[in-house]
Structure 1
Amino acid sequence: MPPRTTALRGFLEHALQSSASAASTPARPASRRRAGPRRARRLRRALACAVTITGVLLTTAGTGHADPYAAPPAVPTMAPSTLDARFGIERQAIEQALETAHAVGDRERAKALGGLLQPGRRFLYFDPRGRGRAIEVVGDLTRAHRVAVVVPGADSTLSGFDSKSGKPWSAPGGGARAVYEQARKINPSPGLAVVAWLGYAAPKTFSSDVLTDERAGQGAVELRAFLTGLNQVNPEARVGLLCHSYGSVVCGRAAMAGAGSARDGWRQVTDIALFGSPGTTAWSAARLSRTARVWAGRGATDWMEDVPHVRIFGLGLGPDPVSSRFGARVFDAGPGGHSDYLAPDSRSLSNLTYIAMGDPSHVSQPA
């Protein structure tokens, strides 16, 4: 068995044994009223560990088939004068990828690409290879006072860019549009642009990659590069990062690398929102930033509560961002589950939109 697999097995089994042991510990008589919910949470945590172990150990290597899609074309550096050219080049790349999808019989990808070519949609980056990457802009990037960057989590793919499991808001593009439309409900002229940033190779939920920050480290480099380009396009805009699930690990790694930097676009970041987060690898919100507001929220029925928030020998993603010891500003994420944070008319969408708009006074706290 490869060393990494052995280490993963040991880590996961240790977490499972710890959770199962905690679940079976008798409650003290004085806290009998609360023992039921606690025990149920511990049992869910043990089950979550067991499912993760099974998924990781059953993960297999790729098929090795050659990728039929073309590499992304060369594009000009991001600047106000080059945006239209980039939008045009990327649209042509999407059209070419759609032709390839039809030629190879990739119906799911073809359907998704057809949606990306709807009139008015603008992409700053597009790569159809593998599970795919794309960066879309909603709103006027050059004139915006605020820019929200939606960083999605595990299982984010090009085929699911607009909708996942029938929920448009749970996908990068659909989520970005949900934030933009909510902002327009709050203020018809919000001065906000929203970026759907699938600029990294998001891991699969049931894979060894999701238990480490390796993919996040690669994504953090790309996110920082994008923020540098954004600074060149609009140096006056202030940025809010909306980081979902494993995307919060990407934001965490980028934040720890960019905190205090005045050389790239990181100085524009005023807010970092972590929601449905498994951890960031940081031990506290202060490690992420001493200037930006760090927010955290989790829906009442989000299964992420049951994931062990530990970090041992590089495995696991660290403390729970909504815990008091982490030190983030906790916002009310409502009753929803892991894929519901940007659902229309939800408390979580309202609060995340206020965070995106740089309006902390309207962000509500949990009851």
Structure 2
Amino acid sequence: MVDIRTMPPHPAMPPHLAKPGTPVRRPRSRRLRRALAGAASIGVIMLTTAGTGNADPYAAPVPVPMLAPSTLDVRFAAERQAIEEALETAQAVGDVDRGKALGAFLQPGRRFLYFDPRGGGRAIEVVGDLARARRVAILVPGADTTLSAFDRRGAKPWSTPGGGARAVYAQARSMSPDPGLAVVAWLGYAAPKTFSSDVLTDGRASEGAERLRHFMKGLHRVNPGATVGLLCHSYGSVVCGRAALDGPGGTAWRQVTDIALYGSPGTTAWSASTLSSTARVWAGRGSTDWMEDVPHVRIFGLGLGPDPVSPEFGARVFDAGPGGHSDYLAPGSSSLRNLTDIALGRASDVAPG
């Protein structure tokens, strides 16, 4: 999701200075912020999106073999060719932003397991050795993520799937020259827009959850011995939540030992224990993340449920530092260090929040 922080509130009167019996009030700006967030959430429901009526110029995904150790190189080559063809289309139709993104995809050493240029686009990139990794981290992004924003969003490349995956991998390499980690930048679903009714429900997440679970089955065929950590940002935490709530799902899903929810609007689960009885469930939120002001409710299928960082939810809360909604994987941040430790399965090294 894009960062829509409002101005910070004025500090409230310290409780020890209030007269006895006088209730301590929230700062007016904070109350106003919450009211505006609620009003915006309701107002979003009234928005509709009109179609352009133009046919999508991009081709459908190319057929590729089932994921397996012997098919990885074939898939990487096939998807690279598909990206080259999509780049030609982008240049022909004058799609400048898409063209820049696809040109970056073709840089030497980049490897994609899946690519679909239609609409906002979908892509799954691997950073590291997927077949030999002892540990695999799957980064699931949130709203407003498209192919054009796969690597760069403003001045914060780490807030994107590709940039975030490389930030986690680089952090792991700084801890050990051979961390045994592969990171997957998983844009395997049609992410909703922040200002749309889709972002208030789990409809897009349910579709994404099915695709994520399908990918997990392929990952199990490629590397059955690796354990998995899910790094789920913003609306991506709804995707992870729906995937976990769909049930254990056999051996592939049992590879998941950690689920990290950060900048989360909710997961539709009522508690961490409901979300998973086997994986460690983590939650974190930066102190300036506007997500704090989003109402955490779920009524008649509207809303995404309890706040994952609340004590009632029961997750392991980690220190996410002072950053905002787009800063969790910023180089040098405490949130990146903690999320990398979660990605590596090093639970005892994660600093509590």
TM-score, with structure 1 as normaliser: 0.89
**Does the alignment pair 1:179 with 2:134?**
no
Q: For the structure 1 residues 30 and 226, does the alpha-carbon distance in structure 2 shift closer, same or farther, using more than 3 Å as the test?
A: farther
Residue of structure 2 in register with 1:230 after alignment: 219
Residue of structure 2 in register with 1:68 after alignment: 57
In the alignment, which of 134, 146, 159 is matched to residue 123 of structure 2?
134
SS at match of 1:134: strand
Alpha-carbon offset, residue 57 of structure 1:
2.4
Superposition map of 1:331-350 within 5 A: 331-350=318-337
Alpha-carbon offset, residue 34 of structure 1:
5.1
Superposition map of 1:241-320 within 5 A: 241-259=230-248, 261-263=249-251, 265-320=252-307
1:286-344 per-position Cα deviation (integer Å, ceiling 9, x unaligned): 01111100000000000000000000000000000000010000000000000000000
Task: Give structure 1 stretches of 5+ with no counterpart.
Answer: 1-27
In the alignment, which of 86, 111, 120 is matched to residue 109 of structure 2?
120
SS at match of 2:282: strand
Q: For the structure 1 residues 364 and 30, does the alpha-carbon distance in structure 2 shift closer, same or farther, using more than 3 Å as the test?
A: farther
**Does the alignment pair 1:165 with 2:154?**
yes
Q: For the structure 1 residues 31 and 62, does the alpha-carbon distance in structure 2 shift closer, same or farther, using more than 3 Å as the test?
A: farther
The CA distance in 2 between the partners of 1:107 and 1:95, in whole Å, is 15
**Does the alignment pair 1:328 with 2:315?**
yes
Residue of structure 2 in register with 1:13 after alignment: none
Residue of structure 2 in register with 1:7 after alignment: none
The CA distance in 1 between the partners of 2:336 and 2:303, in whole Å, is 28
Q: For the structure 1 residues 303 and 231, does the alpha-carbon distance in structure 2 shift closer, same or farther, using more than 3 Å as the test?
A: same
SS at match of 2:25: helix
Q: For the structure 1 residues 57 and 230, does the alpha-carbon distance in structure 2 shift closer, same or farther, using more than 3 Å as the test?
A: same
Task: Give structure 2 stretches of 5+ with no counterpart.
Answer: 1-17
Residue of structure 1 in register with 2:340 after alignment: 353
SS at match of 1:190: coil
1:112-144 per-position Cα deviation (integer Å, ceiling 9, x unaligned): 000000000000000000000000000000110
SS at match of 1:159: helix
The CA distance in 2 between the partners of 1:56 and 1:172, in whole Å, is 27
Q: For the structure 1 residues 34 and 118, does the alpha-carbon distance in structure 2 shift closer, same or farther, using more than 3 Å as the test?
A: farther
The aligned amino acid for 2:114 is: Y
Runs of 4+ in 1 over 6 A off after TM superposition: none
Alpha-carbon offset, residue 171 of structure 1:
0.5
Superposition map of 1:81-96 within 5 A: 81-96=70-85
Alpha-carbon offset, residue 56 of structure 1:
4.0
Alpha-carbon offset, residue 29 of structure 1:
5.3
The CA distance in 2 between the partners of 1:291 and 1:30, in whole Å, is 47
The CA distance in 1 between the partners of 2:26 and 2:232, in whole Å, is 32
The CA distance in 1 between the partners of 2:327 and 2:50, in whole Å, is 31
**Does the alignment pair 1:195 with 2:172?**
no
The aligned amino acid for 2:25 is: A
Equivalent pair of 2:47/2:197 in contact (CA under 8 Å):
no
Q: For the structure 1 residues 96 and 31, does the alpha-carbon distance in structure 2 shift closer, same or farther, using more than 3 Å as the test?
A: farther
In the alignment, which of 25, 39, 45 is matched to residue 35 of structure 1?
25
Alpha-carbon offset, residue 33 of structure 1:
8.8
Aligned residues: 336
Equivalent pair of 1:224/1:258 in contact (CA under 8 Å):
no
Equivalent pair of 2:202/2:238 in contact (CA under 8 Å):
yes
Give the number of the structure whose residues are more often helix, by fraction.
1
The CA distance in 1 between the partners of 2:337 and 2:53, in whole Å, is 44
Equivalent pair of 1:302/1:338 in contact (CA under 8 Å):
yes
The CA distance in 1 between the partners of 2:261 and 2:97, in whole Å, is 30
The CA distance in 1 between the partners of 2:22 and 2:161, in whole Å, is 43
The aligned amino acid for 2:307 is: D
SS at match of 1:35: coil
Deviates more, 1:49-58 or 1:343-352: 49-58
Q: Percent identity?
A: 74
Q: For the structure 1 residues 30 and 230, does the alpha-carbon distance in structure 2 shift closer, same or farther, using more than 3 Å as the test?
A: farther
Alpha-carbon offset, residue 220 of structure 1:
0.2
CA RMSD of aligned residues (A): 1.4
The aligned amino acid for 2:345 is: G
The aligned amino acid for 1:90 is: E
Equivalent pair of 1:253/1:280 in contact (CA under 8 Å):
yes
Equivalent pair of 1:59/1:206 in contact (CA under 8 Å):
no
Equivalent pair of 2:272/2:281 in contact (CA under 8 Å):
yes
In the alignment, which of 136, 139, 143 is matched to residue 150 of structure 1?
139
The aligned amino acid for 1:74 is: P
The CA distance in 2 between the partners of 1:249 and 1:160, in whole Å, is 20
Alpha-carbon offset, residue 180 of structure 1:
0.3
